[in-house]
């Protein structure tokens, strides 16, 4: 490739920056221009992880990694063999940013400050010669015989031989992709909390369990992990994962659905019944409310006594078979009704985007429009919470950037 290629990148988020840097690094002769609509780029990087930036996840096998993506896992499998979390860690380490792994596998900068990641990307963009243009919202894009014409809202026109769209879940990105011939899977929210209209439950706000199983029976979907009771219903990793896998199902039902919670997934009805019978035998004179005989906070235990219509002042010796059966059912198959969705802090994620069948995942080039590339959340890819959405951004943009620079 003798003549330099003019590269345009639309979107100043994680994917846009990483793709522009990868392209400029792979072939410094190519002028790379990054167009960002706002005054301050990398907004989502700065607010993610409670301001700490959950950069990636300590999962280093592609086969395991793809299981964390409700949509797009199959397409990403090959991509992760070329750039995966280990490569992300090394990329940042080479630029002086060390990451640490927390107990649940999430990885953050050792500074616990998302600004570390934002400044690293900004510095690398400058040093690799990426031309960053802020407050440059794109109005339209058209395919020309020799490349792309990008018209900005201020009336200015930019031309590029190759174009990378990395606009996240912004509606403008979907419009630009459609204008260039692509179909869009309808975008709907992913990663959200559940509203439960249960005032007695709301009184337990702040109570959590380290391991529960939550299930959408009508969708035949379930997830396990920590669950947190909130002022409006349920949150926590298990709920967020279930919301991601059930994103379209719940959207189609206007976020109204039965929910079943197993508070003691390590038990089954028989083992739990035997355990409660042994407590009844040992603690005959104590009140049922005196302590929690199972691995649940006492406040949650008292709540379940109420749910099972059991007077907690009664002694264990007075607990009837019918009451015990109700208690076992509520602990292992606790029925609720989802009445709406909440939000998960500022870490909004969207399910939907550019149809993956229309993209070559070896290069992230469009199969419909030559020299057009995609990266990040604009694609119909979304991961569960834990750094997986950022890893999608790093992987797809790195592959797209390299391909744009090297002519493939």
- Take residue 405 and report the two structure tokens written for it: 């620079």
pLDDT on residue 349: 86
- Take residue 407 and report the two structure tokens written for it: 């002519």
Alpha helices in 158-229, H assignment, sequence order: 171-179, 199-202
pLDDT on residue 277: 97
Task: For the chain, give every domain's residue range.
Answer: 7-189+348-406, 192-343
Alpha helices in 58-170, H assignment, sequence order: 62-65, 73-80, 85-94, 114-127
Strand bridging mode 106-109 / 349-354: unpaired
pLDDT on residue 406: 87
pLDDT on residue 345: 58
Measure the CA–CA gap between 41 and 109, rounded to whole angstroms: 19
Beta-bridge partners for 35: 10, 133
pLDDT on residue 1: 46
> What superfamily does domain 7-189+348-406 belong to in CATH?
FAD/NAD(P)-binding domain (3.50.50.60)
Q: What is the mean pLDDT of each successive set of 10 residues along the chain, which is 408 residues long?
A: 85 98 97 97 94 97 97 98 98 98 97 98 98 98 95 97 97 98 96 96 98 98 97 96 97 98 98 97 96 97 98 97 98 98 73 97 98 98 96 98 87
């Amino acid at each position: 490739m003798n003549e330099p290629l003019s590269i345009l990148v639309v979107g100043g988020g994680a994917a846009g920056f990483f793709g522009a840097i990868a392209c400029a690094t792979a072939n410094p002769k190519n002028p790379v221009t990054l167009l960002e609509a706002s005054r301050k780029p990398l907004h989502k990087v700065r607010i993610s992880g409670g301001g700490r930036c959950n950069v990636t996840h300590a999962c280093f096998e592609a086969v395991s990694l793809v299981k964390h993506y409700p949509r797009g896992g199959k397409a990403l499998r090959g991509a992760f063999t070329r750039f995966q979390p280990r490569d992300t860690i090394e990329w940042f380490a080479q630029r002086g940013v060390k990451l640490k792994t927390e107990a649940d596998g999430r990885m953050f900068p050792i500074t616990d400050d998302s600004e570390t990641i934002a400044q690293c990307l900004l510095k690398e963009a400058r040093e690799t010669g990426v031309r960053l243009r802020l407050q440059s919202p794109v109005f339209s894009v058209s395919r020309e015989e020799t490349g792309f014409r990008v018209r900005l809202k201020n009336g200015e026109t930019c031309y590029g031989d190759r174009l990378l769209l990395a606009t996240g879940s912004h509606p403008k990105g979907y419009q630009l992709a459609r204008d260039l011939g692509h179909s869009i899977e309808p975008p709907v929210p992913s990663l959200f909390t559940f509203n439960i209209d249960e005032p007695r439950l709301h009184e337990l706000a702040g109570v959590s369990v380290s391991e529960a199983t939550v299930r959408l029976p009508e969708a035949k979907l379930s997830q396990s992990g920590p669950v947190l009771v909130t002022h409006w219903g349920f949150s926590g990793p298990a709920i967020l994962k279930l919301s991601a896998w059930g994103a379209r199902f719940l959207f189609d039902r206007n976020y109204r659905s039965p929910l079943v919670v197993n508070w003691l997934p390590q038990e089954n009805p028989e083992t739990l019944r035997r355990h409660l019978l042994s407590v009844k035998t040992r603690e005959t004179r104590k009140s049922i409310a005196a302590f929690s005989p199972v691995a649940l906070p006492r406040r949650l235990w008292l709540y379940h006594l109420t749910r099972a219509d059991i007077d907690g002042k009664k002694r264990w010796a007075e607990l009837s078979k019918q009451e015990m059966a109700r208690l076992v059912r509520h602990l292992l198959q606790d029925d609720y009704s989802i009445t709406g969705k909440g939000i998960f802090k500022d870490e909004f994620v969207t399910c939907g985007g550019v149809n993956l069948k229309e993209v070559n995942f070896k290069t992230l080039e469009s199969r419909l429009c030559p020299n057009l590339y995609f990266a990040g959340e604009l694609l119909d890819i979304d991961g569960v919470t834990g750094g997986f959405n950022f890893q999608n951004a790093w992987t797809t943009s790195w592959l797209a950037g390299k391909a744009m620079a090297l002519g493939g």
